[in-house]
């Protein structure tokens, strides 16, 4: 098995992407001396033989020999967007093992099949951590299918906790949310955006001479704030250290 761990949940454009790699057996014990190949490619949509398909573009590669401790592979992509990481290795009998996942880098434009109707589109929201504690600041990457746009952000739990507005002037934006005790044990983040999008022809090429189309999108995310500061330490001791049967 090939284990790959990024050092962040998402990256800002211009950051190097560092991935820690380790190989283990079926018992989870580290195995060293294995050849590992990593591929790192940006994902986009292209029209292939008359159909829109998701394709991998500008792949970067990294090769290494695994050791007992995790070893890093660093990628420096030229632009932002959604990326797929694939790590491959073989066991002692030549059987292949593969691990894959996706991550985001801010600033990239995500091409998609042209829209002909006014339909709800999807906002992608990526937090920088899996959970938070009061006093933390949550960084959320917002990936929009269009821009510019005006966004409304709501924090919800049994009603609306907070409402804010902001402007999307590019394909991505990073918002900061201060975490307070009032957010324990969790809350829901919801963002709605309205704006306009560039019209595209059947091959996905922009048509700047055409009027822009109306567009709107929505996305939600549950953010965990576990009550670690409210836990109690309980100790138990028996009234008598030893008892006889009966």
Q: What confidence tens digit (pLDDT) does each residue in 78-91 have?
A: 899 999 999 999 98
pLDDT at residue 94 greater than cutoff 70: yes
- pLDDT for 165 equals 97
- pLDDT for 110 equals 67
Write the pLDDT tens digit of every residue in 121-178. Answer: 999 999 999 999 999 999 999 999 999 999 999 999 999 999 999 999 999 999 999 9
- pLDDT for 116 equals 77
Burial of 77 (0-12, 13-18, 19+ CB in 10 A): buried
With cut-offs at 50, 70 and 90, classify the pLDDT of residue 181.
Answer: very high
- pLDDT for 72 equals 94
pLDDT at residue 113 greater than cutoff 80: no
Residues 44-65 have a mean pLDDT of 91
Residues 63-92 have a mean pLDDT of 93
What is the CB-side half-sphere exposure of residue 76 using CA atoms within 13 A?
1
Question: What is the length of the chain?
Answer: 246
Write the pLDDT tens digit of every residue in 199-209. Answer: 988 888 889 99
Rounded Cα distance, 63 and 40, in Å: 12
Rounded Cα distance, 151 and 164, in Å: 8
> Interior CA angle at 13 toward 87 and 147, to 5°?
115
Residues 69-78 have a mean pLDDT of 93
């Amino acid at each position: 098995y090939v284990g790959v761990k990024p050092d962040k949940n998402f990256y800002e454009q211009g950051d190097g992407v560092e991935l820690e790699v380790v190989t283990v057996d079926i018992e989870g014990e580290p195995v060293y001396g294995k050849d590992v190949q990593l591929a790192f490619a940006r994902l986009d949509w292209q029209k292939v033989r008359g159909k829109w398909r998701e394709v991998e573009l500008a792949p970067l590669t990294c090769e290494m020999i695994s050791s007992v401790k995790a070893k890093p592979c660093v990628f420096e992509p030229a632009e932002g967007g959604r990326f797929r990481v694939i790590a491959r290795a073989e066991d002692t009998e030549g059987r292949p093992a593969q691990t894959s996942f996706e991550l985001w880098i801010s600033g990239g434009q995500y091409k998609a099949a042209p829209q002909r109707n006014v339909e709800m589109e999807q906002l992608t929201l990526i937090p920088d951590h899996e959970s938070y504690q009061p006093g933390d600041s949550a960084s959320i990457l917002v990936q929009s299918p269009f821009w510019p746009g005006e966004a409304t952000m709501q924090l919800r739990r049994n009603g609306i906790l907070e409402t804010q507005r902001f402007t999307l002037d590019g394909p991505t934006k990073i918002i900061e949310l201060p975490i307070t005790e009032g957010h324990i044990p969790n809350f829901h983040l919801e963002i709605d955006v309205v704006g306009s999008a560039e019209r595209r022809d059947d091959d996905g090429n922009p048509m700047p001479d055409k009027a822009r189309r109306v567009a709107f999108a929505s996305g939600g995310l549950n953010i965990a704030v576990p009550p670690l500061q409210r836990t109690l330490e309980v100790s138990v001791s028996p009234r008598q250290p030893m008892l006889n049967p009966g």
